[in-house]
């Protein structure tokens, strides 16, 4: 959120879901989410008034399916973002105040990624698309989350050993 200079409350609902699902996916993989990898799969777009921010999949690089196909009437409602006891540091690093000058960011080309990020992007690209709603709903159910991720397309050929930082075919 710091990179795009926006508070979490300035994100459209599906955009917030993309950020959260990306975090859940990388938590399962045992590595910190990378802004470069995120920006390889997503573009950041400012809306007309420059207050709202939307994230969209880069065409041909769909990592996460939207949480819901359509949200209506949500802008006029107040909502509160808070951390649960299960993850008290969930909002660390997120600005909690609204900013006027958000940044629009284009996707990060594969060639501009670090060698390690290129490997991760290749694996994720081959895995296909994950459903944001499913990832988020399984965040605290490690067994079912592992079955969901590891039975998704290409990833079923990999055994993840996150504590050792290894991916084995």
pLDDT tens, position by position, 10-31: 777 788 888 999 999 988 887 7
Model confidence at 136: pLDDT above 70: yes
Mean model confidence pLDDT for the chain: 75
In degrees and rounded to multiples of 5, residue 29 shows phi and psi of -70, -15
Helix, strand or coil for residue 167?
strand
Q: Mean pLDDT over residues 44-65, rounded?
A: 80
* pLDDT confidence bin for 99, thresholds 50/70/90: low
The rounded percent of the chain whose pLDDT value lies above 70 is 63
Q: Mean pLDDT over residues 125-138, rounded?
A: 88
Q: Mean pLDDT over residues 53-78, rounded?
A: 74
Q: Which of 52-61, 88-97, 145-154 has the lowest average pLDDT? A: 88-97
pLDDT at 163: 45
pLDDT at 98: 55
Do the strands 53-57 and 42-46 form a parallel or antiparallel pair, or are they unpaired? antiparallel
Q: State how far the Cα of 111 lies from the Cα of 109, in Å rounded to an integer.
A: 6
Q: How far is CA 141 from the centre of its chain?
A: 18
Beta strands in the chain (DSSP E): 42-46, 53-57, 64-65, 130-131, 159-161, 166-168
Q: Mean pLDDT over residues 125-131, rounded?
A: 84
């Amino acid at each position: 959120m710091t990179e795009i200079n926006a508070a979490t409350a300035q994100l459209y609902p599906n955009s917030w879901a993309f950020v959260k699902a990306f975090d859940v996916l990388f938590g399962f993989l045992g590595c910190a989410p990378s802004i470069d990898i995120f920006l390889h799969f997503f573009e950041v777009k400012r809306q007309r008034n420059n207050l709202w921010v939307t994230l969209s999949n880069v065409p041909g690089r769909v990592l996460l399916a939207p949480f819901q196909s359509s949200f209506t009437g949500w802008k006029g409602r107040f909502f509160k973002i808070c951390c649960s006891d299960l993850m008290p540091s969930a909002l660390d690093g997120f600005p909690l105040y609204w900013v006027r000058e958000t940044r629009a960011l284009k996707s990060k080309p594969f060639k501009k990624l670090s060698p390690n990020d290129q490997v991760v992007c290749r694996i994720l690209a081959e895995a296909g698309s994950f459903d944001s709603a499913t990832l988020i709903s399984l965040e605290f159910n490690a067994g079912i989350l592992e079955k969901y991720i590891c039975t998704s397309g290409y990833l079923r050929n990999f055994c993840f050993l996150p504590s050792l930082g290894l991916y084995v075919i």
